[in-house]
Structure 1
Amino acid sequence: MKRVIKKVAVLGSGVMGSRIACHFAGVGLQVLLLDIVPKDLPADAKPAQRNKIVNDALQAAVKSNPSPLYTKDALKRISTGNFDDNMKDIATYDWVIEVVVERLDIKQQVYEKVEQFRKPGTLITSNTSGIPINLLSKGRSDDFRKHFCGTHFFNPPRYLRLLEIIPTRETDPEIIDFLMHYGDLHLGKTTVLAKDTPAFIANRIGVFGIMSIFNNMEKLGLTIDEVDALTGPLIGRPKSATFRTADVVGIDTLVNVAKGVAQNCPDDEARAVFAIPAWLETMVNNKWLGDKTGQGFFQKRKSAGGEKEIDVLDLKTLEYGPRQKPKFASVEAAKPVEDLKQRLKMLAAGQDKAAEFLRHFHYALFSYISHRIPEISDELYRIDDAMMAGFGWEIGAFESWDTLGVARSTEALKAAGYTVAPWVEEMLQKGNTSFYKIEHGKRLYYDVASQTYKPVPGGDAFIILNHHKEKTVWKNSNASLVDIGDDVVALQWNTKMNSIGSEVLEALNKSIGIAEEKFKGLVIANDGPNFSAGANVGMIFMFAVEQEYDELDMAIRLFQNSMMRVRYSAVPIVVAPHGLTLGGGCEMNLHADKVYAAAETYIGLVELGVGLIPGGGGTKEFVLRAGDEMHEDEPETITLKNRFFNIATAKVATSGFEAYELGILRKGHDEVVLNQGRRIAEAKNAVIEMYNQGYTMPVQRKDVKVLGRSALGALYAGIHAMWRGNYATDHDALVARKLAYVMCGGDLSEQSLVSEQYLLDLEREAFLSLCGERKTLERIQGVLKTGKPVRN
């Protein structure tokens, strides 16, 4: 049967339930969020009183940072109620998700009520992270059990991409197939099929990793600050590293999962690692549970000067003290290396205490994951997928093992007293030296059961550019153009924060030329954490400080001409952004034929923050779009004002969906892709479709509507009001006036039609003049030194 999900009921409005509801509303579904009625209410209590728990929980979720909603309007799709008055309403819903407290008896009471009203065939799933799924469905009807399974989201559901699907012995296989597909395509999740074993996949491995770290840090005498410095971005893990992650998740949650594994996995060879250290038991008894109680491994306080400071716990004394910045020779040597895999190799070869810790960290992890197959998963790639999507690892555990060398690491870990599962030894004996390999652009994984390599499923829908290196068409030191099949090429670059400098622009122009000559079209994307943080401001600063204004003028012209080349090429060009897409990175998207943006794309023109205006065609493009959007039913300056203030306040869309509201993405034209991994394949398909429809190169515009003095006066008045209200500094006001001048087409006496080149010239002149301002240079210098602009 064809199953369609239009309405979802979420039972339980705690931290997870409320945020799961927000995510479903964010992707466009109607959501009913229910919870219990407060105790001791009078018989005549009004609905607002009876729904107080659920309404308070939803409001707390909406106010949380980062937001669980893609846009504020999504909240309108959530209605609330309580189990007593509104459980009957689930009869019209397509999917019921239970997210109540982690107690079997309470969950079974909820299921009893659900069965009274749920229509046959409706999906019913649990978000439990610890209770066996087979136990939950015990005693329920045949239809309930057939349509029941575990759907374990990770917190926060919008941002962590993992969705574990855990079937029972009686779950209909069609339901599992549907949820695996639906979670991927419609919820943007990495859906991982997990077995009904304690803690499933991600928490089993993740909590082992944390407990193993606790053990090793004590042996080596490391502090919390030292461990977090070693287990964060340095090794491809999130900034929250180990102890900050524990505070966010909840130390009680961590302890409960660890105890659950120790109690329910008697055959786990590393069961002793899950024993709770005395200091951790003390923390739980003291209610030092992390963020939820205001203190955990870290504690916020105010200094004598009223500034916020963070203290860290000393695990020996259990007292808080100032944080210390650790220094290790091996770390200082490896830190500048951009490539994660090269950095891991350098760290593993180090000779200090940090390197020793990281070696044991990896040995313990490699040993443990080898023994978990086939216990928690039959396929090793599922473990890697779960850890990357659920814990934010940049590469998976088996991929890390490949990076450090399977044979070499296996010998080293055995020499250090660890063990590996027999299948690893057998794999090596057969001459297979890695868990993954790339053949013809496809990623293969070692299948333990058949002792052969098989393609990782979904390869056609998930294009990873680094897997196409063998089909490199052209490259320079910072960028490469690869053939991704079907006569389409893709350009990616690898600079710090994927900034755009002269070599990237060279690659862009060269790639367009090659695509025009030999291919159907071009995709611009990358596999890194972010699409691009914008133009190389270091180069701009150098030219400006040395007063090399001719060089700077040439650089700006090159950037503008390159963006116009993206817009006016003989083949379709589609950009597939994700993560930070700022300044020049945003301008590239503004000029593309089409954009396929990941839902988690944070895009905007932020140049005002460094005392500049968008100088790569971004200002011109906003003027062009404003002119096209103006209509007779509104004062003409309204559309232009909105566009102006988006740039003047350096506004960044907090999601791909919000980018529509800011006018960066075009409604009905550009697309938002919920599953980030699919965006490049979607972009490629769009190139082929445009080519097959008979793509012709657009003609440069000479009819851009600008408003001249009438709008300029209105914008100047708005800038003055912001300056008088202390919302803008003197320099903010200066930059904003330059921006207004460009966006109005200059000091024209009346509304006029101008060319794109006319606006580009105005844009470039304003940009150049601002590069000569001392306060602009101070702002750029601040960004280069600290990553944050100076407010002057």
Structure 2
Amino acid sequence: MHKRIIRKVAVLGSGVMGSRIACHFAGIGVPVLLLDIAPTALTPEEQAKGLTLDKVKNRIVNSALEATLKANPSPVYTKEAVTLIKTGNFEDNLKEVAGADWIIEVVVERLDIKQTLYEKVEQFRKPGTLITSNTSGIPIHLLAQGRSEDFKKHFCGTHFFNPPRYLRLLEIIPTPDTDPEVTNFLTEYGDVYLGKTTVLCKDTPAFIANRIGVYGIMAIFHLMEKLGLDIDTVDALTGPVIGRPKSATFRTADVVGIDTLVNVAKGVAEHCPKDEARAVFEIPAWLQKMVDNKWLGDKTKQGFFKKIKNEKGESEILTLDLKTFEYGPRQKPKFATLETAKPIDDLRKRLVALVKGTDKAGEFYRHFHYGLFAYISHRLPEISDELYRIDDAMMAGFGWEIGAFESWDVLGVQTTINEMKKAGYAPAAWVENVDTFYKVENGKRLFYDIATKTYKPIPGAESFIVLRNFEQQTVWSNSACRLYHLGDDVLGLEWSTKMNSIGGEVIEGIQKSIALAEEKYKGLVIANEGPNFSVGANVGMIFMLAVEQDFDELDLAIRTFQNTVMRVRHSGIPVVIAPHGMTLGGGCEMSLHADKVCASAETYIGLVELGVGLIPGGGGSKEFALRASDDMHEDEPETITLKNRFFTIGTAKVSTSAQEAYGLGILRKGHDEVVMNQGRRISEAKRAVLDLYDAGYTTPAPRKDIKVLGKMGLGMLYTGINGMFRGNYISEHDVKIAHKLAWVMCGGDLSEPTLVSEQYLLDLEREAFLSLAGEKKTLERLQSVLKGGKPVRN
């Protein structure tokens, strides 16, 4: 069997989904042919310009792609990726699908239109080429009817979730004719190259995620009526507090489109006559009224919420009152259950507290969970044979922090079943004998298999390291950190503090981990599984010491952090860091000093200290000066390299993806890795540790050959800073901070370019940090971050 390689993809249909799927492939470096229909009439503007239809054949596809590229957040990892997308139309360019290895159809949800297009595609498609549909509403087996045997064999459903760059679910739906090789290939390619959680689905209405997700939303709509709750209350109850996205229930519906939601619900009610919860999919009168009013959410500028400009000219979001159908100011609901549960950081413990609540919120959580648990139990084996696929689909497609079966485990399977029955909910019979849906043995997660009534390892899970599964292999811990043995003599360190900030306990954890690894292990991985890797140093601690003018203590704290970061650089074993999400300030500085970084593609990394009135004080300013020195070469004035590095810190730039971090000089090309699938980053980091160890790892020697430019560099940087001040881009305090940063990066006021050591620059960096920490305006900025999360501009 030949090895399948994807060198080029053709995407047919350039609507919101089509263009975004095209952007995602271009983002990973695959050339894309994006096609759509040619217009049948000229616009008034085109007529005025005297154009003919022949001249505007690509208008539809080009406008769609242009609109997608304006989306925020961006659908591509770097701006350059767009050059890999070639646009065209079905009349002139369909023949070019002959050069594609994978053809993805994303046209309008109508069986006849899709089948007509496939007929045309079949004239040009070369045998063996993958062909898949992104449909979410049409049974996959109907689509390939009447096609050739080769077409059917290489055809299946690949349902991407929108936006494809950020939502990690890819549902793969084979037909009875699909070659198993095709299903296996797409499952692996989606995971490794597209960064997806790939979930094998049966060809049932709405597949897995939308079937469960839309049930969940519709059940909440009915529950809201039953308990007399309003929109703001429901969104407060169903957001991050239960491990769901900030968009909770109603905001999600506005984003997805209320018409889309209603169509899926009607589709399930119509095509699933045996669904025991069919009544839940019935559309409430108020929901139908919204569809009739064309209040469909974001796409029609109003839905459950509406954005307006108030009398002061500020943007304000109003909420719909479903009784009066008027929009009014948002309300902040208060419940004792929420107040009790909010301080509990661990989601699993928090869920237990919420379901025990004695007020209306507690009642809501019980009904909500009992209904969901009963529903998922009846969906096996209808929509999937394995329960873990349902959890995977909900986490990756709807952004749930933990899956539904896992939540059931947390609340206790049998205890909950007893409560469910008392409240009138009937779970499926197979659940009666289950004590737990998942369990962990030797770092491996097992799931309960209904067919054999035994526990089986999750297939493919060996490619993923989930730190929590190694709790039995804890080597050391303190109240913030845990150090695990990940097997093969590699240690893994994680910490869980508020937003994973770095304080004394975390620094102790890093020092201790390196010391233990040097004693008897091959190396260390530093990573965690919170929403973000780390937002940097503990700002509260810096603020407290600075306000009390305890500069000796602050000096010691910075020195300790610098020493820790340098310990990462100069340890006797390889240290690999696997960041993801926000990796700011100290989190970025630590990554800059690792032997290698294996970053998730969605890593937003940067040195942001200037925003709070400081400069990077944990080796970041030193490291950028060192890298500027290494980048200096004959063909380019030395000042250019220094200037670029200086402005990256000076403007507090944060990469919008790991790929963009190469351009900012934070990740090193050809050295640090970007891991497309966030779930694989820790196992990739472990592999990198072993590779470095096997290659005969030696400790990097402290550097004493860093070229700094002294007065020559200072003159150039000061001129740039003053230009920005005169142009009103920065404040007087910003000038002061930027001058300090320039001083550090130029090695001080030296009369000529000089070679200096890392320690020399670290001392300058620390002195500058301390002097800024004593400034009134810096304290104001720190205080505003602590109070409202954003620095004041002063």
Pick the TM interval, shorter chain: over 0.9
Paired position in structure 2 for 1:27:
28
What are the residue-to-residue correspondences of 1:137-152 with 2, within 5 Å? Answer: 137-152=144-159
Q: How does 1:46-195 map to 2 (within 5 A)?
A: 49-195=56-202
For structure 1, the residue ranges without an aligned partner over 5 or more in a row are none
Give 1:760 deviation, angstroms.
Answer: 0.3
For the pair 1:289 / 2:296, whether they are aligned, the reply is yes
Gap change, CA 1:44 and 1:120, over 3 Å in 2: farther
Cα distance, 1:467 vs. partner?
Answer: 0.4
Q: State the one-letter code of the partner of 1:789.
A: P
Distance in 1, matches of 2:206 and 2:3, equals 32
Q: Distance in 2 between matches of 1:35 and 1:531?
A: 40
Instruction: Give the direction of change, closer, same or farther, for the CA distance of 1:47–1:475 in structure 2 (3 Å limit).
Output: farther
Q: Which residue of 1 aligns with 2:348?
A: 341
Q: Could you tell me which of 376, 392, 402 is aligned with 1:385?
A: 392
2:241 corresponds to which residue?
234
- The reply on whether 1:584 has 2:559 as its aligned counterpart is no
**Equivalent position to 2:382, from 359, 372, 375:** 375
Give the secondary-structure state (helix, strand or coil) at the position aligned to 1:657. Answer: helix
Distance 1:48 1:710 in 2: 56
Shift of 1:40: 2.2
TM-fit CA distance, 1:714: 1.0
Cα distance in 2, alignment partners of residues 220 and 709 from structure 1:
71
Provide the rounded CA distance (Å) in 1 between the counterparts of 2:649 and 2:239.
34
Note the 1:753-772 alignment, pairs <5 A. 753-772=755-774
The alignment covers a number of residue pairs equal to 787
What do the CA deviations read for 1:108-162 (whole angstroms, capped 9, x no partner)? Answer: 1111111111111110000000100001001111111110000000000000000
Shift of 1:46: 6.8
Partner of 1:503: 505
Which residue among 508, 526, 529 is the counterpart of 2:528? 526
Residue 3 of structure 2: aligned partner: 2
Q: What is the 5 A alignment of 1:570-719?
A: 570-719=572-721
- In the TM superposition, what is the alpha-carbon distance from 1:48 to its structure 2 partner? 5.5
The CA distance in 2 between the partners of 1:369 and 1:775, in whole Å, is 55
SS in 2 for 1:760: helix
Query: Alpha-carbon deviation of 1:506?
Result: 0.3
Match of 2:517?
515
- Once residues 737 and 53 of structure 2 are traced to their aligned partners in structure 1, the CA distance between those partners, rounded to angstroms, is 54
- Secondary structure of the residue aligned to 1:296 is coil
8 Å Cα contact 2:40-2:53 kept in structure 1 = no
The alpha-carbon deviation at position 551 of structure 1 amounts to: 0.2
Cα distance in 1 for residues equivalent to 2:650 and 2:415: 55
- Greater mean alpha carbon deviation, residues 719-728 or residues 38-47: 38-47
Q: Distance in 2 between matches of 1:733 and 1:208?
A: 55
Q: Deviations over 1:284-329 (max 9, x none)?
A: 0111000001000000000111100000001111110000111111
Match in the other structure for 2:324:
317
2: CA distance, partners of 1:718 / 1:360: 62
Q: Distance in 2 between matches of 1:133 and 1:414?
A: 37
The whole-number CA distance in structure 2 between the counterparts of 1:495 and 1:44 is 62
Mapped to 2, the partners of 1:480 and 1:523 lie a distance apart of 12
Q: What residue is the counterpart of 2:752 in the other structure?
A: 750
Q: Which moved more, 1:199-208 or 1:627-636?
A: 627-636
Cα distance, 1:401–1:48 mapped onto 2, change above 3 Å: farther
Q: Which amino acid aligns with 2:402?
A: I
3-state secondary structure, aligned to 1:151: strand
2:217 pairs, out of 210, 214, 217, with 210
Instruction: Report the 3-state secondary structure (helix = DSSP H, G, I; strand = E; otherwise coil) of the residue aligned with 2:319.
Output: strand
| Residue equivalent to 2:416 | 409
Give, in whole Å, the separation in 2 of the partners of 1:590 and 1:248. 37
| % same residue | 73
Equivalent of residue 471 in structure 1, options 470, 473, 491:
473
Between the aligned partners of 2:729 and 2:594, the Cα distance in structure 1 is 34
Instruction: Output the amino acid matched with 1:116.
Output: Q
- Cα displacement (A) at 1:176: 0.3
Code of the aligned partner of 1:252: D
1:355 deviates by 1.0
Query: 1:199: how far off?
Result: 0.1
Once the two structures are superposed, residues 695-726 of structure 1 have per-residue CA deviations (whole angstroms, 9 ceiling, x without a partner) of 11110000011111111111111111111111
Shift of residue 459, structure 1, vs aligned partner: 2.3
Deviations 1:628-653 (A, max 9, x none): 00111111111111111111111000
Rounded Cα–Cα distance in structure 1 between residues aligned with 2:758 and 2:641: 19
Separation in structure 1 between the aligned mates of residue 233 and residue 775 of structure 2, nearest angstrom = 42
Residue identity matched to 2:307: K
1:313-354 deviation per Cα after TM superposition (whole angstroms, max 9, x unaligned): 011111100001111111011101110001111111111111
Task: Determine helix, strand or coil for the equivalent of 2:461.
Answer: coil
Task: Provide Cα deviations, 1:643-680, integer angstroms capped at 9, x if missing partner.
Answer: 11111111000101001010000000000000011111
**Alignment deviations for residues 56-93 of structure 1 (CA, whole Å, 9 cap, x no partner):** 11011011001000000000000000011100111111
Consecutive aligned runs of 4 or more in structure 1 exceeding 4 Å deviation: 41-44
Indicate if the aligned counterparts of 2:41 and 2:53 stay in contact, CA closer than 8 A.
no
For the 8 Å contact 2:133–2:157, the answer to whether it is kept is: yes
In 1, the alpha carbon distance for the partners of 2:41 and 2:78 equals: 37
CA deviation string 1:765-785 (max 9, x = no partner): 000001001111111111111
**How many Å apart are 1:44 and its aligned residue?**
7.7
Distance 1:89 1:44 in 2: 26
How far 1:45 moved relative to its partner? 3.4
State the Cα distance separating 1:460 from its structure 2 match.
Answer: 1.7
Task: Evaluate the alpha carbon distance shift between residue 47 and residue 729 of structure 1 in structure 2; reply closer, same or farther with a 3 A threshold.
Answer: farther
Over residues 423-454 of structure 1, what are the superposed CA-to-partner deviations in whole Å (9 max), with x where a residue is unaligned?
A: 001x23xxxx1100010110000000100000
Q: Matches of 1:64 and 1:459 in 2, distance apart? A: 34
Deviation at 1:265, TM superposition (A): 0.1
Give deviations 1:251-280, integer Å, cap 9, x for gaps.
000000000000000000000000000000
Q: Tell me if the contact between 2:152 and 2:178 (Cα under 8 Å) persists in the aligned partners.
A: yes
Whole-angstrom distance in 1 between the partners of 2:232 and 2:588: 36
Does 1:730 pair with 2:737? no
Give the letter aligned to residue 125 of structure 1. Answer: T
1:267 pairs with 2:267: no
SS of residue in 2 equivalent to 1:460: helix
CA contact (8 A) 2:172 2:201 kept: yes
Shift of 1:789: 1.0
Give the gaps of 5 or more residues in structure 2: none
Distance in 1, matches of 2:120 and 2:202, equals 27
Give how far 1:497 is off: 0.3
CA distance in 1, matches of 2:236, 2:793: 29
2: CA distance between counterparts of 1:7 and 1:514? 48
Matches of 2:55 and 2:375, distance apart in 1: 51
Aligned partner letter, 2:13: G
